[in-house]
Amino acid sequence: MEIPHYLTVQDAQSLLAQMNVHVNIRQLKRTAEMDGAGKRKLPWFVDPIEGRLMIEKSALLSAYFNRQHEAERG
């Protein structure tokens, strides 16, 4: 089993920048806001110890790769 690698908002911003996806902190935080149905655009959660927004690295990458795959299929 793979050990999860959790990212803060700043870590996620750095990871995306390495992929040439440049977003600011505010844009990332907006993906964590809940919509009317109580769902987030990306699977962010609040760390129970530090109270900061966190996301699992592979979940963030999967979101981008899945969208790319959908776009390629047409």
Residues 55 and 44 sit within 8 Å (Cβ to Cβ): yes
pLDDT confidence of residue 74: 76
Dihedral sign for Cα atoms in the order 51, 34, 32, 40: positive
**pTM for this predicted structure:** 0.87
CA distances from 7 to 1, 45, 60 (A): 19, 10, 9
pLDDT confidence of residue 51: 97
Query: In the predicted model, what is the mean pLDDT of residues 35-53?
Result: 94
pLDDT above 70 as % of the chain: 100
